[in-house]
C-alpha cells in the first residue's frame, strides 16, 4: 500500500495553505493600521524649548505644536495659534507686541487675552509642564478655553503699529 498523495489532494492542500497565509498577512496588516499609537504631534505631548529660553517680552512659535510659548510672570504659557472666532491662524506681531488675526481683525495681548475684534474670548491654551531636563513640554491634547473679554492679567499697551 502506498502512502503517496495524489495530485488532486496535493493541490487542495496547497490552496488551503495559501488562503491561510493570505488571511494571516491581512490580519497582521490590519493590526498595524488599527492599533493605537503613542501620542505625538498635535494631540500629544511635544517637547519645545528649554524653560530658561522662554521669553517674557515676546512669543516663540513652535510649529510642531501649532502654539506660541511665552512667559507671563513666573508661568510658562502655550497659546494655540487658532483664533477662537472662526479658527484662522493668529500671528505674533513684533511691531505691536500683540497677537493679530488677519482674517477678521481680532487682537490679543501677549497673555492671549482678548483686546479687540469679533473673537468671543481670549486665545485657547494648551497644558504645559517642564520635564526633568528643563525642557518645556506642551500637551496639545489638553485645551483650556481662553479667558473672557475684559480679562487683564498683564498691562502691556501696544508697542507700535499693527502688522495687519
User: For residue 20, what pLDDT is reported?
Assistant: 94
Q: How many residues does the chain have?
A: 164
Instruction: Please write the tens of the pLDDT for every residue from 73-91.
Output: 888 899 998 899 888 899 9
Condensed to tens digits (0 to 9), the pLDDT of residues 2-42 reads: 677 888 888 889 999 999 999 988 888 887 677 665 555 56
pLDDT tens digits along 60-74: 898 888 899 999 888
Q: Which of 91, 93, 85 is nearest to 146 (CA)?
A: 85
Contact 151, 113 (CB under 8 A): yes
Listed by start position, the domains of the chain span 1-35, 45-144
pLDDT at 124: 92
Residue 98 is placed in which grid cell? 500683540
Of 21, 70, 25, 63, the closest CA to residue 46 belongs to 63
Letter string b/e over residues 24-52, b meaning 16 or more CB atoms within 10 A of that residue's CB? eeeeeeeeeeeeeeeeeeeeebbebeebe
The whole-number pLDDT of residue 69 equals 93
What span, in angstroms and rounded, lies between the C-alpha atoms of 154 and 129?
21
For 99-157, the pLDDT digits (tens) are 999 888 899 988 889 888 899 999 999 999 988 888 888 888 888 898 888 888 888 88
More reliable by pLDDT, 88 or 43 = 88
**Which CATH topology does 45-144 take?**
Rieske Iron-sulfur Protein (2.102.10)
25 to each of 11, 20, 74, 79, 147, how far by Cα in Å? 21, 9, 54, 44, 52
Is a pLDDT exceeding 60 seen at residue 1? no
Amino acid at each position: 500500500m502506498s502512502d503517496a498523495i495524489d495530485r488532486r489532494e496535493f493541490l487542495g492542500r496547497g490552496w488551503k495553505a495559501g488562503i491561510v497565509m493570505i488571511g494571516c498577512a491581512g490580519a497582521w496588516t490590519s493590526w498595524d493600521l488599527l492599533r493605537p499609537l503613542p501620542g505625538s504631534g498635535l494631540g500629544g505631548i511635544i517637547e519645545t524649548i528649554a524653560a530658561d529660553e522662554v521669553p517674557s517680552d515676546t512669543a516663540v512659535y513652535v510649529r510642531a505644536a501649532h502654539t506660541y510659548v511665552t512667559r507671563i510672570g513666573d508661568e510658562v504659557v502655550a497659546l494655540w495659534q487658532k483664533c477662537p472666532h472662526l479658527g484662522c491662524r493668529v500671528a505674533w506681531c513684533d511691531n505691536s507686541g500683540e497677537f493679530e488675526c488677519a482674517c477678521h481683525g481680532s487682537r490679543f495681548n501677549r497673555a492671549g487675552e482678548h483686546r479687540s475684534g469679533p473673537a468671543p474670548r481670549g486665545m485657547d491654551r494648551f497644558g504645559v509642564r517642564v520635564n526633568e531636563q528643563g525642557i518645556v513640554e506642551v500637551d496639545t491634547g489638553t485645551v483650556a478655553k481662553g479667558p473672557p473679554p475684559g480679562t487683564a492679567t498683564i498691562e502691556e499697551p501696544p508697542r507700535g503699529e499693527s502688522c495687519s
